[in-house]
Amino acid sequence: MTPSILALAAATLVVAVAALAQSATGSGFSVIAAPLLLVIDPVLVPGPLLLLTLVVMASVVWRERAGLRHVDLGWAAVGAVPAAIGATWLVPVLDERTTALVLGLFVTVSVVAGLAGWSVRQNRATLTVSGALGGALGTIAATPGPPVIVVYQQPDVTRYRANLSAFFFVTSAVSFVSLLASGGTGAHDAVTAAALLPGLALGIVAAQVLVPRMPARWVRPGALALCLVSGVSLLVSAATA
């Protein structure tokens, strides 16, 4: 089913804001876009959103490529890949309300913990586990970010943005290929994603102007705050469905 013109217009605005947030903080694209797109029209998630995620992550990784001199999230990717593939069997099982509720709870709890100052020690084990959770969420709802955002800490802003965006690119690619192989996505999702590319371009261009003016100390708190707003909105939509 193709979204209506009104739904596509609203989704284009959401994608633009999410792309700007991703460029500014190194996270936030899927965690902002997924809940709102689910409310606008559930057909926008996960297939079309995963395709858009690949584009915006590639853009941020290229801009922040100097930060990949140190690859920090290799162990997270090790956990994410098998989990992203394994989660494909959940996609046809979960209905829209259950998906919204699970994602909303996970995002909200993760972010509240981060904002409250609760931190998980960053090591191979915690990165692998957070990566696995992120990989599964990536396939189910195109939102691999929250678990990794809570665990990963890096004071170098360029390195932080680059590593997170590279991780999201890898997990989104694996999730999309897994869904494609299982019949969970196809050409119709590519057409829908293409219709939203103007919003993506708008957010990326706006970021070129705004991101250099953003204080480094705002990056991680900003990412967590955006995640919180998104998670709460998703819980509200699930409760009222």
Q: What is the pLDDT of residues 199-238, one digit of tens each?
A: 999 999 988 888 777 776 776 677 677 777 767 877 877 7
* Residue of 11, 15, 27 whose CA lies nearest to 221: 27
pLDDT at 132: 93
Distances, alpha carbon 168 to alpha carbons 61, 66, 88, 98, in Å: 10, 17, 17, 23
Q: Which structure tokens are listed for 111?
A: 């972010």
Number of domains the chain contains:
1
36: containing domain: 5-240
Q: What is the predicted pLDDT for the residue at 209? A: 85
What's the rounded Cα separation, in Å, for the pair 121 and 140?
Answer: 26
The confidence score (pLDDT) of residue 211 equals 74
pLDDT in the model for residue 235: 83
Looking at residues 169-187, what average pLDDT do you find?
A: 91
pLDDT attached to residue 190:
94
Q: CB 7: neighbour CB atoms within 10 A?
A: 16
Of all residues in the chain, what percent are helix, strand and coil, respectively (each to 5)? Answer: 80, 0, 20
Q: What percent of the chain has pLDDT over 70?
A: 95
Between 107 and 132, name the one with better pLDDT.
132
Q: Residue 85: is its pLDDT beyond 80?
A: yes
In this predicted structure, what is the pLDDT of residue 207? 84
Mean pLDDT of the chain: 86
pLDDT band at 32 (very low <50, low <70, confident <90, very high): confident
Whether the model clears a pTM of 0.95, i.e. scores above it, the answer is no
Reading the block at residue 222, the tokens are 């900003």
